[in-house]
Structure 1
């Protein structure tokens, strides 16, 4: 019954009086479904938040609740959500900065526009996690001050904060100009020297795998450097010193930098760790010379990364298509091709190259239709879901290529009801087709009934508004809770049945 009520709470056809009835009895789950309703309104939202405190958070974030609707003493989490949106008054921030729950003070520390006195209070909080949260989002002055905090957890947060001054980020990266930290998560919990077993058998152990401290806070300092290297505000000249660092994780972070100069990228192109080279290959900051060098890399992951680089030369990309499995996706470079380039790719004698451009969904009709007539099934499969293809042409694709294109044809937004029904009865059957049809807005009742025979398509089909009302009612008693809940959320469920379900409350 509870699953049905959750489904009803999300049903867009639920009458107003039944919405009120559910608000009056809502628990956390029902309130979560009600909070997503477009017709909830401010009065109901306030009533729901007053009944179920947790729902106030979602309602505040969605703009359904205002300052006048919330009592920060009894609805602290909703008040924090408004503060996080920059909509709460300073008095709330001062009140919550003394909240006994550490989790709330942490949340407050991440809110924007806090009054200076609240920032000072949080910076002096006895819980390191609160101060670290402040360090993650503080302005330049506070971040610079917290960079000298004695605990590495706070320093790591400051290293990830893009508002931290560049000179301070460079100091966190090199360790120069800052007092040595005195505490880390390892030496707080263990006698040093200590190296944490990556396969630690202790339940709920607070230390990450591989954490270690011999008094110098080694793994924590590594984490600080990693955060600083990933921070785009860290000066480039401080970053390039790490291209040959012993840590592959740090070299990986350098390879991803959008400001990496060519001379720094060159040694990374020979890095012994493939994921470092792959990240470099995908980085649009590298020049054509480096891209052409990486195009011959023996690792397919590196070549695949290069294929996803938005600045890869088109001739390099077409060369990669011959010998690298790129996947069924629209590549960034293909998405920005000029009309002449699109025409050139579509006329290529190589199916792998024609398939690249077939993934575009803004092709000129003549090119789209030509690719739909392609003799290669992979090319046709790439273009089959393209909007604008006629019902006749979609049917012809199925006749020529069968199961190889069924799922993509079923996903085509212009596939007509008759074709969708035909696809569900295709022999041999294809389960992916049933899932695609179950999601299709134009799916007719007959096709949806077939979709109900598939365990993965069944919950989707149960919520489709084209399903006959009698079938929807029958699905309310389905042993699969997801199916029953989807049926309860189906707008085709008769309103008298909705009323009967809520009358049992």
Structure 2
């Protein structure tokens, strides 16, 4: 891989004629970068496809090729990409539905908008994997409902996961009522039953999942069908409620995030011995306040953290969780939706973790934002350091008071001036994350970017910044770190004469 040529292929300042020259010498790696260019013309895309046929799928998904540019027999992979994008010919689908390569038929089965005759052909495909793909991706309730009755469990599992499958068919897949038993599964297709697959299977060619089993009743396949149906929001709630106390933890877990269950089912799941199930219930907006208050006392930190992320958690419950739920610095949904009155109350909290949660908001009134910026707790200040609106004097005061604990946050502030950014990178002791923030900051001066080259992780970022002096950019083309060399080659400030010398002639 020529990292410099890949960087040039992404350089937005590359003139049209130099793009042509680069196409003429492109390998697969360079072609992949060229295919991403926003200014790539249709003629250039066709030339690139001719030069490196492997990039055709990428070009098709980028909208650079049309049906007239592709032979579906010579390049079925590109034709399938166009069909997947709705830009292919219906006749291609008829050709590819009988393609001898199973992977091509599977890819076709996942495409939408196929002609009815193609759908019928795929539904009758002799390879069950092709039919399973159709069952998973079809948007036709008639097709999905019919495939829910397929004799192979793999197809039924796909239908159970498809939201287009009719609710009555999903209920039948879940309960087995009104549905003839499956006749085959992946296990009995390959092994003599009864068979239980070892979880630490040593056979390199074995494709069965760990623990898969069949004694003639296809028990592991039936379990997988049920799990898919339970996770499918189109499955009727009345069909799923009976699984709240099922012996399988995975089936119970599949219920925990559903928004359509009776309150009693949520209470059952909230008492489940598996912490992951309780955590998903805690984060479910459909549970009531009483259950949220009960879950706030759960001994497992993941449950309390899940509750903290619930957009409907009562604010007083959230404030109690703030110091114990390991929430981190993410903006919580309930904080994001807090009213003006609630925001003022949170800002006056004597609990620093609560103020820190509020400080994560980016739309605070100026007086609240400034108050948090002057907070005595460094974690609060760090959280409020990045949003715009703070004056340079206040940003400098934050650094003076709290030093390395807030430096990176201040460096990420969009209002940080070039002078402030230079001040931050001179701080002792240095903060590596601050260098990375300065390297990507739009206000970073040439002097600041040159200083950022001293940090290994900031160096590739700084190398691609147009404000970096051109002599430094040219020097970085030979950097030992290939990421740096590629970023320098992609830098729009790289002199045109240097670019011309770097691109070989075909």
Q: How does 1:178-327 map to 2 (within 5 A)?
A: 178-327=179-328
SS at match of 2:266: helix
Q: Is the 8 A contact 1:410 1:433 kept in 2?
A: yes
Q: Is the 8 A contact 1:295 1:316 kept in 2?
A: yes
- Equivalent in the alignment of 2:99: 99
- Equivalent in the alignment of 1:4: 4
RMSD: 1.5
Q: Is the 8 A contact 1:53 1:77 kept in 2?
A: no
- Equivalent in the alignment of 1:474: 475
Offset, 1:57 = 2.2
Offset, 1:278 = 0.2
Does 2:454 match 1:483? no
Tell me the distance in 1 between the aligned counterparts of 2:410 and 2:262. Answer: 45
- Equivalent in the alignment of 2:126: 126
Which stretch has the larger CA shift, 369-378 or 67-76?
67-76
Shift in alpha-carbon separation, 1:205–1:413, aligned structure 2, 3 A: farther
Offset, 1:77 = 2.2
Offset, 1:19 = 0.3
Q: Is the 8 A contact 2:97 2:122 kept in 1?
A: yes
Q: How does 1:360-439 map to 2 (within 5 A)?
A: 360-439=361-440
Offset, 1:87 = 2.4
Q: What do residues 253-279 of structure 1 show as CA deviations (whole Å, max 9, x unaligned)?
A: 101112122111011111000000000
Offset, 1:13 = 0.8
Shift in alpha-carbon separation, 1:205–1:442, aligned structure 2, 3 A: farther
- Equivalent in the alignment of 1:332: 333
- Equivalent in the alignment of 1:48: 48
Tell me the distance in 1 between the aligned counterparts of 2:89 and 2:27. Answer: 29
Does 2:163 match 1:162? yes
Offset, 1:204 = 4.7
- Equivalent in the alignment of 2:117: 117
Tell me the distance in 2 between the aligned counterparts of 1:260 and 1:222. Answer: 21
- Equivalent in the alignment of 1:351: 352
Q: Name stretches of at least 5 consecutive residues in structure 1 with no aligned partner.
A: none
Q: How does 1:65-84 map to 2 (within 5 A)?
A: 65-84=65-84
Which stretch has the larger CA shift, 347-356 or 451-460?
451-460
Offset, 1:23 = 1.6
Q: Is the 8 A contact 1:198 1:209 kept in 2?
A: yes
Q: What do residues 88-107 of structure 1 show as CA deviations (whole Å, max 9, x unaligned)?
A: 22111111112222222111
TM-score with structure 2 setting the length = 0.97
Q: What do residues 33-88 of structure 1 show as CA deviations (whole Å, max 9, x unaligned)?
A: 01111110222122222332332222222222222333323332222222112222
Q: Is the 8 A contact 1:463 1:490 kept in 2?
A: yes
Q: Is the 8 A contact 1:261 1:285 kept in 2?
A: no
Q: Is the 8 A contact 2:25 2:504 kept in 1?
A: no
Which stretch has the larger CA shift, 339-348 or 282-291?
339-348
Tell me the distance in 2 between the aligned counterparts of 1:243 and 1:122. Answer: 37
Q: Is the 8 A contact 1:54 1:77 kept in 2?
A: no
Tell me the distance in 2 between the aligned counterparts of 1:452 and 1:216. Answer: 64
Q: What do residues 349-378 of structure 1 show as CA deviations (whole Å, max 9, x unaligned)?
A: 211111111101111111111111111111
TM-score with structure 1 setting the length = 0.97
Tell me the distance in 1 between the aligned counterparts of 2:379 and 2:489. Answer: 40
Offset, 1:380 = 0.5
SS at match of 1:479: coil
Offset, 1:504 = 5.5
Offset, 1:187 = 2.1
Q: Is the 8 A contact 1:184 1:217 kept in 2?
A: yes
Q: Is the 8 A contact 2:435 2:455 kept in 1?
A: yes
Tell me the distance in 2 between the aligned counterparts of 1:22 and 1:318. Answer: 58
Tell me the distance in 2 between the aligned counterparts of 1:145 and 1:51. Answer: 45
- Equivalent in the alignment of 2:15: 15
Deviating 4+ runs (over 3 angstroms): none
